[in-house]
């Protein structure tokens, strides 16, 4: 029987990072993955492939509608969806091979098969051919991630009524894509097909899109996406989804309580994700789940069984790849006797529409609810030379600071490259910087980042220069 110090079940961003960090710290490490490729949802059917398609569709959109303004005259561009999907698959393949390389480099043993507990220290690996082997592990990290959720009355046929996984591999561009759920995944994939020529209708139960982010971002993103042609049906509760040949009918109730119908040739069900623990055999190890099916952990991500830990989408908190990576590193370092920390308030959230949306720290709504006295600095992207030069003038930066101490409490933006710029807010808040600290830091000109400095100036005494 093979013996390991640390075994990780699941090779998504949380799992493979945990394995690499454990190996770096001198542990004999194994990783178990049931699929033939490493990388989990994020690399195979999530973050990476969706960004590849978002980029393809963005280039097409620009070629179709904007090139002439830039002085570039081309024939009418056409979409080759099969080629886009092929490129996306190439990006995925390259990335997963990179993970294989890192496993070899760090001398991590990879087992392909389903990992399930036989006891607290023994894990069975069941291979695709039905054979199995048992390994012994001093510590185990559960990193089995999540699966797309659905609604109890929806039958996902994975052809016309689909999840994000199928939306990344369509054979044709939908004529009318109905998206159930106005969260990150629905809006990103809705954006892809909107740019490629689909009519897109988003049906959302709440009264706003991206409900977890700052209200100002939600409002602005909806305005911009509406301008791009996306339709929104908010405060609308879906009650039935029926397929009839190539058409799918969605029945719902609007905020007035009236029945409304939407008909499309594809329906994307994007109502969140659920933790995935199927077939793990947690009962044999004695590991407890909470009421929402997540693995129960303490502040050190330790389960009720002292040698078993859990990270990522399978535990509480935001289902984000970078949150899982931080947790994977944290557990490996705890096992090595170090004292790492994660500040969950400083895990940024990002939406990769165009313009991008990003936020970290407290939203204005949260601070109001907590009764914290705060001040707000805003700066519009259209006031930047860099934004005008590239034609990306939508959006703004919003910095929220403590009214008395000027400490930055929230950092929210919508605009070009917001996904990258939010890191400036994370660093500032990690080191408890004030808005004035950011305002006094030189930002290169002309850059999108200047909007951050200007918003910080606006937060410290309304002294933005270019507004």
Which of 342, 312, 336, 333 shows the shortest CA–CA distance to 324? 312
**Chain Cα centroid distance, residue 166:** 17
Of the candidates 59, 65, 445, 466, the residue annotated as catalytic is: 445
Cβ pair 455, 386 in contact under 8 A: no
**Which candidate, 259, 241, 258, places its Cα nearest to that of 250?**
241
Q: Using N-to-C axis directions, what is the helix angle for 450-459 and 418-430, rounded to 10°? A: 50
Rounded Cα distance between 228 and 207, Å, is 20
List the structure tokens of 174. 């939908």
> CA–CA separation, 255 vs 194, rounded Å?
26
* Burial class, 126, CB count within 10 angstroms (exposed 0-12 / middle 13-18 / buried 19+): middle
Cα three-residue angle 289-295-297, rounded to 5 degrees: 110
Query: Measuring CA to CA, which residue among 42, 8, 36 is closest to residue 321?
Result: 42
The closest alpha carbon to 99, from 33, 27, 169, belongs to: 33
Q: Identify the sign of the CA torsion 90, 92, 93, 94.
A: positive
DSSP 289: B
Active site residue 300: no
Supply 164's token pair: 């994000």
C-alpha dihedral over 217, 183, 316, 288, to 10 degrees?
Answer: 170
Report the alpha-carbon distance of residue 415 to residue 148 in Å, rounded.
Answer: 28
DSSP assigned state of 385: H
**Pairing of the two strands 396-402 and 408-415:** antiparallel
Residue of 203, 178, 191 whose CA lies nearest to 268? 178
Question: Does the N-terminal peptide bond of residue 446 adopt cis geometry, omega within 30 degrees of 0?
Answer: yes
* 379, 454 Cβ separation under 8 angstroms: yes
Residue 295: strand pairing partners: 289
Cα–Cα separations (whole angstroms), residue 71 to 55, 59, 63, 66, 74: 21, 16, 11, 9, 10
Active site (catalytic) residues: 445
């Amino acid at each position: 029987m093979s013996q390991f110090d640390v075994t990780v079940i699941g090779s998504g961003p949380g799992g493979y990072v945990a394995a690499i960090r454990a190996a770096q710290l001198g542990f004999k490490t194994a990783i178990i993955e049931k699929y033939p490729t490493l990388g989990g949802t994020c690399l195979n059917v999530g973050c990476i492939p969706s960004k590849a398609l978002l980029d393809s569709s963005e280039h097409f959109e620009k070629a179709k509608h904007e090139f002439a303004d830039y002085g570039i005259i081309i024939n009418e561009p056409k979409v080759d969806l099969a080629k886009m999907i092929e490129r996306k698959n190439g990006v995925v393949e390259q990335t997963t091979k990179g993970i294989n390389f890192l496993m070899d480099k760090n001398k991590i043993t990879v087992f392909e098969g389903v990992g399930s507990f036989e006891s607290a220290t023994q894990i069975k690996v069941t291979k695709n051919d039905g054979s199995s082997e048992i390994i012994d592990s001093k510590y185990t990290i559960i990193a089995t991630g999540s699966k797309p959720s659905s609604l109890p009355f929806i039958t996902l046929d994975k052809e016309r009524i689909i999840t994000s996984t199928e939306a990344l591999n369509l054979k044709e561009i939908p004529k009318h894509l109905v998206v159930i759920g106005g969260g990150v995944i629905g809006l990103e994939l809705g954006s892809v097909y909107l740019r490629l020529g689909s009519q897109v209708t988003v049906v959302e139960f709440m009264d706003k899109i991206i409900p977890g982010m700052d209200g100002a971002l939600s409002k602005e993103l909806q305005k911009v996406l509406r301008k791009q042609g996306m339709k929104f049906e908010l405060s609308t509760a879906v009650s039935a989804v029926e397929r009839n040949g190539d058409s799918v009918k969605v029945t719902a109730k609007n905020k007035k309580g009236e029945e409304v119908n939407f008909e499309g040739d594809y329906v994307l069900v994007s109502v969140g994700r659920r933790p995935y623990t199927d077939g793990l055999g947690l009962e044999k190890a004695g590991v407890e789940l909470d009421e929402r099916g997540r693995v129960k952990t303490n502040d050190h991500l330790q389960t009720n069984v002292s040698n078993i830990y859990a990270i990522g989408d399978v535990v509480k908190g935001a289902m984000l790849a970078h949150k899982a990576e931080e947790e994977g590193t944290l557990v490996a370092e705890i096992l090595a006797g170090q004292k790492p920390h994660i500040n969950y308030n400083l895990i940024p959230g990002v939406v990769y529409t165009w313009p991008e949306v990003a936020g970290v720290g407290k939203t204005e709504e949260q601070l109001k609810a907590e009764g914290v006295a705060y001040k707000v600095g805003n700066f519009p992207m259209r006031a930047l030379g860099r934004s005008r030069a590239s034609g990306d003038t939508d959006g703004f930066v919003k910095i929220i600071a403590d009214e008395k101490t000027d400490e930055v409490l929230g950092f929210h933006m919508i605009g070009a490259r917001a996904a990258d710029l939010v890191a400036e807010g994370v660093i500032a808040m990690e080191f408890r910087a004030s808005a004035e600290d950011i305002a006094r830091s030189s930002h290169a000109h002309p850059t999108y980042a200047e909007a951050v400095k200007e918003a910080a100036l606006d937060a410290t005494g309304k002294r933005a220069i270019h507004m």
